[in-house]
A and B are shown apart, each in its own frame.
Chain A
């Protein structure tokens, strides 16, 4: 008989306690990653220093973090909107690809338009394409009761292949010496940089959209309906909430946000469409959304953190020849430990009294 027994907490763990659990989870993940580094023959401590210094140690590094955090943030925001209704949208990666495709279509079709017309058109096309990619699994789920986890995931694979098809085929730049990429966008199709930094105005897009999502859940009836529906589907149906329409709405919004991320990435970061824009932001976004417990502000912090991790791992790759896949190990470990740590927010251990 163990000396400890498990009891449900009367009140959920406070902010301080939650932060302790989170910090412990992060430390455990890093320690685990260190073990694998040591297995691969790299000193964990020097790696940690390279990782931290590479991610946060210079102005250039910090700017790189913010640059990567923008698409991760937008995707995570989208994922969180769907998760609020307990719809498992694992498809941010594909919706991101579709957004990039939609924006690219506008950029390549109307290169002569002025910037004030072309950028909004690209954003609209990105949101439409990403939103459509989110709507399909939602319709299948509500009408045919298919599992949205698998459908959204399969549509990721299809979206990446569609992107490949376009850049290897009809959209391929004839002057690219056979490289799979579209021609460079015209100047009007490129989101500019903020002042003298390398950071683009996508950051502002992220802030505004984040604020909108927060306001949607805080102030609107529909936002409240989504939260209620996520808490209890059956009760929401009895209360007369249009559950089907809510599902469609959150999936379209979710896909549109990820699509916007694809638009920013294609327009501001690479200035064209090419397969290398698919680096798994859509999967990182799931880790971020869960880490932040779906709250828009916390998602911003978590997005910066995981963007920093990516930048740091790139440095590991350059300086210590650690394979890039190493980032996945840490991301997976963080998600697992944070998930397990959630236990301590609802349960506590008490000492068993002697009989």
Chain B
């Protein structure tokens, strides 16, 4: 392979990794507060639809992107009452949210299949995009990719350098102690759930606004579930999430190239790659489980009795 092909492939890797990165960071925020949210797939696809619809009607992709984030928050807010007030099982509630979200997005989106909408196109960053190798790979993308570069460090800072982040992590590690320290655990968990939903919505919107530029049913194709797996792979750390998201971006970009180049493998076998890789990645992460930052009270509800 020539250098240009490799660079083009790596640039495509960053692009197809971006929606997964947003969703993974959202799930990290949620799980750090102690709430497992398996609704990522449903929330993402709602974000993708709302982003597309708002862009189509307003003509403003930036507005559409933010709207998708807000809808992501609103959708995960369904998870909140069920798990935070009514003590519902977090696994089942998340699954229900996925079934609900995918159904709702496909239902409302039927009218938009095959219609155009404005989206984001690449804007080379002045100066940085001139860099050899790194320029075309990282700095010749649409603005949303640049936004995604800022989120992991900001999320890390929030979690580790602010009192709200500390409170949120306490709610996920040891809720009883957090309550004893006078923290409102349920409020911190709400923050994690709804804040996480915002990023899941953004991840979905990236798909429809910058990646495919159109709406089809089942647009997310399991990316939400891959994000859930990546949180484990990332040991709940935003930095490692970047690495994981680009790993999947790479395999997806590679698979598209192979299909386009008319490889001998049937497309259904190539399409299996990301899902198989998810299983492989989970197996690999189990090797060093001791060094992970898994919240101790992940998935455990806080009883309401006073």
Binding site for B on A (CB under 8 A): 5-8, 36, 39-40, 88, 90, 140, 144-147, 149-151, 153-155, 157-158, 161-162, 164-165, 168-169, 283, 286-287, 290, 322-323, 325-333, 335-336, 339-343, 346-347
CB of A89 to closest CB in B, whole Å: 11
Closest B residue to A148 by beta carbon equals: B282
User: Which 8 residue pairs of A and B lie closest in terms of their CB atoms, listed nearest first?
Assistant: A328-B103, A332-B100, A325-B106, A335-B96, A339-B88, A343-B86, A332-B99, A340-B86
CB distance B282 to A161 under 8 Å?
A: no
Considering residues A150, A168, A326, A341, which has the most beta carbons from chain B within 10 angstroms of its beta carbon? A150
Question: Across the interface, do B95 and A335 meet the contact criterion of CB distance under 8 Å?
Answer: yes
Chain A CB within 8 A of B279 CB = yes
Distance between Cα atoms of A162 and B276 in the complex (Å)? 12
Q: Tell me if A146 and B82 are in contact (CB < 8 A).
A: no
Chain A positions within 8 Å of B88 at CB level: 336, 339-340, 342-343
B268 x A146 contact (CB < 8 A): no
Asked if B268 and A164 make an inter-chain contact with CB atoms under 8 angstroms apart, the answer reads yes
Contact B229 A6 (CB under 8 A): no
Q: Name, among A8, A287, A343, the residue most crowded by chain B CB atoms within 10 Å (CB to CB).
A: A343
Expressed in whole angstroms, the Cα–Cα distance for A156 and B217 within the complex equals 18
Are B104 and A339 interface neighbours, CB within 8 A? Answer: no
Given A154-B279, A332-B97: A325 and B103 within 8 A (CB)? yes
Task: Name the CB-closest residue of B to A32.
Answer: B100
Question: From residue B82, how far is it (CB to closest CB) to chain A in Å?
Answer: 5
A336→B97 contact, CB < 8 A: yes
Instruction: Report whether B225 and A165 are in contact in the complex, using a CB–CB cutoff of 8 Å.
Output: no
Residues of A within 8 A of B110 (CB): 323, 325
Query: For the complex, what is the distance from the CA of A233 to the CA of B192, rounded to whole Å?
Result: 29
- A150 contact from B99, B225, B289, B304, Cβ within 8 A: B225
Question: Which residues of the other chain, B, contact A88 by a CB distance below 8 angstroms?
Answer: 91
Interface check B286, CB cutoff 8 A: yes
Chain B residues lying within 8 Å of A342, measured Cβ to Cβ, are: 86-89
Complex contacts, A323 vs chain B, CB 8 Å = 106-107, 110
Say yes or no: A40 contacts B272, CB within 8 Å: no
- Asked if B164 is at the interface (CB within 8 A of a chain A CB), the reply is no
Q: Please list the residues of chain B having a beta carbon within 8 angstroms of any beta carbon in chain A.
A: 38, 42, 78, 81-82, 85-89, 91-93, 95-108, 110, 217, 222, 225, 228-229, 232, 266, 268-269, 271-272, 275-276, 278-279, 282-283, 286, 289, 304-306
Query: Chain B contacts of A164 at CB under 8 A?
Result: 268
Secondary structure of the B contact surface, majority rule: helix
- Most chain A CB within 10 A, of B99, B101, B278, is at B99
The answer for the CA separation of A36 and B97 in the assembled complex, in Å, is 16
Q: Which applies to chain A's interface (DSSP): helix, strand, loop or mixed?
A: helix
User: In the complex where A328-B103, A336-B93 touch, is A150 in contact with B282 (Cβ < 8 A)?
Assistant: yes
Tell me the complex Cα distance, A327–B275, Å: 26
CB-defined contacts of A153 to chain B, threshold 8 Å: 222, 225
- CB nearest to A88 among chain B residues: B91
**Docked complex Cα distance between A88 and B299 (Å):** 13
Name B110's closest neighbour in chain A (CB-CB). A323
A339-B103 Cα distance, complex, nearest whole Å: 18
Give A330 to B304 CA distance when docked, in angstroms. Answer: 28
Closest residue on chain A to residue B36 by CB atoms: A149
Q: Could you give 28 example pairs across A and B, Cβ below 8 Å?
A: A39-B108, A140-B282, A147-B229, A149-B228, A150-B229, A150-B282, A161-B269, A161-B275, A164-B268, A169-B266, A323-B107, A325-B103, A328-B102, A329-B100, A331-B99, A331-B100, A332-B42, A333-B100, A336-B82, A336-B93, A336-B100, A339-B82, A339-B93, A340-B81, A342-B86, A342-B87, A343-B85, A346-B87
Q: A6-B305, A343-B88 given as contacts; is B275 within 8 A of A165 (CB)?
A: no
Residues of the B chain whose Cβ atoms lie less than 8 Å from the Cβ of A287: 96, 99
Task: Chain A residues near B101: list those with CB within 8 A.
Answer: 332
- List the B residue with the shortest CB-CB distance to A169: B266
Nearest CB of chain A from residue B85's CB, rounded to whole Å: 8
A164-B271 Cα distance, complex, nearest whole Å = 11
Interchain nearest-CB distance for A64 vs B (Å): 21
Structural contact, A335 and B92, CB atoms closer than 8 A: yes
> Are B96 and A339 closer than 8 Å at their CB atoms?
yes
Among B82, B97, B232, B305, the most chain A Cβ lie within 10 Å of the Cβ of B82
Are B266's CB and A151's CB within 8 A? Answer: no
Q: Which residue of A lies closest to B106 (CB)?
A: A325
Given A165-B266, A328-B107, A335-B92, A154 and B225 touching (CB < 8 A)?
A: yes
| Contact partner, B283, options A146, A346, A347, Cβ 8 Å | A146
How far, in angstroms, from A155 to B91 measured CA to CA in the complex?
A: 18
Which of A329, A335, A343 makes the CB contact (< 8 A) with B87?
A: A343
Most chain B beta carbons < 10 A, residue from A326, A329, A347: A329
Complex Cα distance, B102 from A330, in Å, reads 11
Cα distance A46–B301 in the bound complex, in angstroms:
40
Given A158-B272, A328-B106, A335 and B99 contact (CB-CB distance below 8 Å): yes
